[in-house]
Amino acid sequence: MHETAIVQGLIRILEQQAAQHEVSAICKVNVKVGRLRAVEPRQLIACFEIYAEGTVAQGAELAIVALPVRACCKACLCEFEVPRFHFECPGCGGGDVDVIQGQELYIESFEVVGG
């Protein structure tokens, strides 16, 4: 379950940012996760609740925005959303594409208690 490792990293970043900005409590964490990361949102939330205990993020809501997979065709430069991991350009039918979205995993923002 790689969600555990992801959450440990998120908590570490939140603790560092909270210390840097003199924040004592976080009430909400907004995370963006690309679909290619194969993260199960419910498991991520459950792990977050466990690992946040005793940290500045204890009791915080974890809000996850799942980003679809998008690609750009190298032949015709068509940008498109990739349906069901079918990496074929709808414009020219080519399969030589660059993934331009879907691999993200980052904290977009967090909200502080009383802030």
Backbone φ and ψ for 81, nearest 5 degrees, come out as: -80, 135
Report how far residue 44's alpha carbon sits from residue 41's, in angstroms, rounded to the nearest whole number: 5
Residue 78, both tokens: 């068509």
pLDDT at residue 115 in the model: 58
What are the pLDDT tens digits along the chain (115 aa)? 589 999 999 999 999 999 999 999 999 999 999 999 999 999 999 999 999 999 999 999 999 999 999 999 999 999 999 998 899 999 999 999 999 999 999 999 999 987 5
How many Cβ atoms from other residues are within 10 Å of residue 73's Cβ? 21
pLDDT for the residue numbered 113: 85
What domains sit in the chain, N to C, each tagged with a CATH number? Answer: 3-68+102-112 (3.30.2320.50)
Give SS3 for 8.
Answer: helix
